[in-house]
Amino acid sequence: MKQRFCSGSVSIFYVLILVGLISVLFAFLEAARVSALKTNVHLLTGQAEDAVYASYQPELWEQYHLLFWEESGEGNTGTFPEVCNLQKDAVEQNWESQQFGHNFFFLQAHCSKVEVEQYQLATDDNGAGYYQQAANWMRQNVAEDVLKTVLQSVTESKTDGLEQRGELQEQEVFQALEQMDQSGKTAQTRELPEETGNQEQTRVLAEAQEIKEAEVDAGKTGENSRVELANRSDLQNPLEWMKAVKKNGVLALVMPEQNVSNKELGQTEGVNHTHSAKGSWQQEKTASVTDRLLFGLYCRAHFSDATQERGDRALDYEMEYLIGGKNADQENLKAVVNRLLLMREGANLLYLETDSTKSQEAMSVALALTSVVANPELAEPVKHAILAAWAYAESISDVRILLNGGKVSLVKNDTQWHTDLKHLGDALNTSEKNTEQEGLSYDGYLQLLLWTTSEEKIRQRSMNLIEQNTGVCMNQMAGKIKCSVEYEAQPLFWNLVQLGNNEIGSYHFAEDSEVCYAESKK
């Protein structure tokens, strides 16, 4: 009996020690399992993010290299149920794939909740998300030296004020014509002055007198006779010629033989109208000069212009639309051509004023014209008006060259000058054959005009074109989505050493899921 009792007491002692050791072992195993569960749910969250990244809107990427999630539900309430369901399904599918042959898996964790905390739509903050994506794509696809060259071109072109100068020049021409008309009323019967030895002056005097005689013979007065006579190749008063050709319209002057697109945008509201849907993402990054330049290059790469039409688009002249903002191709092209003419007028007049030979030639014509109206005091202002008309003729030649695929220098020299004061009408026959190898193409001049256009308007108009061409709605495109993901897992080893009736609750884990198409994943 005694020996049997001693043997039994020793066995109970060892059993208690063994139970304690097993409890400690299971505690370590459970702690290790909890740590592994945290790692596993982090991996599951990353895999769920990848599922969202892979579900981008395909049309935007194929045509415009933009990555956005499209919430296809009616109305955007900010909950993004499709994103939440996609991530839940991705977590469950990834968890099921880890169960090889339906064997027991130690790291079972179920996604219990996915909730959107913040998101950014493409139209938020004047299209900041769209703008940043476009700039980032161009940054990865343009050489640094090309970027520096374009930046230097737009920042050092010295085109500021040229358009305003061109407008003043045209006003100067019309004012000079009005002054000459008033002076001519008192000198209609005045005879031609005797030749003074200046052959150029004598020639122009004779032409001016011939114009007046032709008007009297034909019995014509007023604007109709003036227009007809000004268009004659053998009788060209520079001021009358300019006034006459401007009546034809800018497109008839620079594109007489080309078919102009008649496409127009529909009446449907685009992103340039106010949208009710707005995201909650806090935008911190501000656009830099480099970003603005990159966005301009992006527009050049993805939108067509008058020299490279695309028939499958809502508008053929998309770059012109970004600058002009009209609903019709013709109106946008007119706006751009008019701005180019004004810009070139200003630049061309600056050159003419520095060329003494051409200035003297203009003065000879001015003296002849003012002598006919018996008011030589007008010679100086008429000379400036003639130079302005000459600059206008050269501008027509420049724009014709650009639209035919040629190049035109911003600042010209004598060898690059195409028109002759004696034959301004020849400007209407200029083609790309007259161009120089140096200078900017039509595409380059569009970049200059784009640089002077409001950045906010360019963003809105470009997104409007994207909507028209793809059928998507940009205010339903999310570029950034931040979600909170909750997981639940049941204890395993603790259940084997549970003491008493107290049940051990489940484990809960929380992870942040952030989908950001505009930036690369870390």
The verdict on 441 and 392 lying in the same domain is: yes
Whether 271 maps to a domain, the answer reads no
For residues 362 and 383, what is the distance between their CA atoms, to the nearest angstrom?
6
Residues 451 and 481 in one domain: no
Q: Tell me: do 306 and 331 sit in the same domain.
A: yes
With H, G, I as helix, E, B as strand and everything else as coil, classify residue 115: strand
The whole-number pLDDT of residue 87 equals 86
Q: What per-residue confidence (pLDDT) applies to 406?
A: 87
Full domain range(s) for residue 72: 2-122+475-516
Residue 317 resides in a domain = yes
- Which residue among 444, 464, 484 closes a domain? 464
Residue 381 sits in the same domain as residue 485:
no
For residues 260 and 392, membership in a common domain is answered with: yes
Position 417 in a domain: yes
Residues in the chain: 522
Confirm whether 494 is domain-assigned. Answer: yes
Buried b (16+ CB within 10 A) or exposed e, 369-387: bbbbbebbebbebbbbbbb
Question: Does 52 reside within a domain?
Answer: yes
Compute CA distances 372 → 185, 205, 215, 218, whole Å: 11, 7, 15, 20
9 and 151 inside one domain: no
275 part of a folded domain: no
- Same structural domain for residues 434 and 486? no
pLDDT at 162: 74
Give pLDDT tens digits for 216-261.
444 444 444 434 434 444 446 888 888 888 888 888 888 877 788 8
pLDDT 10s per residue in the chain (522 long)?
Answer: 455 555 555 677 787 788 788 888 888 888 888 888 888 888 888 888 888 888 889 999 999 999 998 877 654 566 788 888 888 888 877 766 666 555 566 777 888 888 888 888 888 888 888 999 999 998 888 877 777 777 777 666 666 677 777 777 777 777 777 776 666 554 443 443 444 334 544 554 455 455 445 444 444 444 444 344 344 444 468 888 888 888 888 888 888 777 888 888 876 555 554 454 577 676 666 678 888 889 999 999 999 998 887 778 889 999 999 999 999 999 999 999 999 999 898 889 888 988 889 989 888 888 888 777 667 777 788 888 888 889 999 999 999 999 888 888 888 888 888 888 888 887 777 665 666 667 888 998 998 899 888 889 999 999 999 999 998 988 888 888 888 888 888 887 776 666 556 666 788 888 888 888 876 444
Distance in angstroms (rounded) separating the CA atoms of residues 316 and 320: 9
Sequence-ordered list of residues with C-beta below 8 angstroms from that of 210, at least 6 positions apart, any chain: 235
Scored b (16 or more CB within 10 A) or e, 45-61 reads: bebbbebbeeebbeebe
Cβ-count burial of 455 within 10 angstroms (0-12 exposed, 13-18 middle, 19+ buried)? middle
Task: Please check whether residues 244 and 393 belong to one and the same domain.
Answer: yes
Residue 101, domain member (yes or no):
yes
Looking at residue 228, what is its pLDDT?
45
Q: Tell me the CA distances in angstroms from 42 to 34, 54, 111, 459, 501, one per residue in order.
A: 12, 19, 12, 37, 33
Cα angle vertex 395, ends 390, 399, to 5°? 155
Helix (H, G, I), strand (E, B) or coil at 407: strand
The reported pLDDT for the residue numbered 188 is 46
> Which of 516, 515, 393, 443 lies closest to 49, judged by CA?
515
- 429 and 505 in a single domain? The answer is no
Domain count, the chain: 2
Same domain, 362 and 249: yes
Tokens 């009616």, residue located:
74
Q: Is residue 276 part of a domain?
A: no
- Residues 309, 413 within the same domain: yes
Rounded to the nearest 5 degrees, what angle is found at the Cα of 413, between the Cα atoms of 407 and 417? 65
Residues 365 and 485 in one domain: no
Q: Which residues contact 32 (CB under 8 A, 6 or more apart)?
A: none
For residue 514, the tally of other CB atoms under 10 A from its CB is: 15
pLDDT at 498: 63
CB of 352 closer than 8 Å to CB of 390: yes
pLDDT at 165: 75
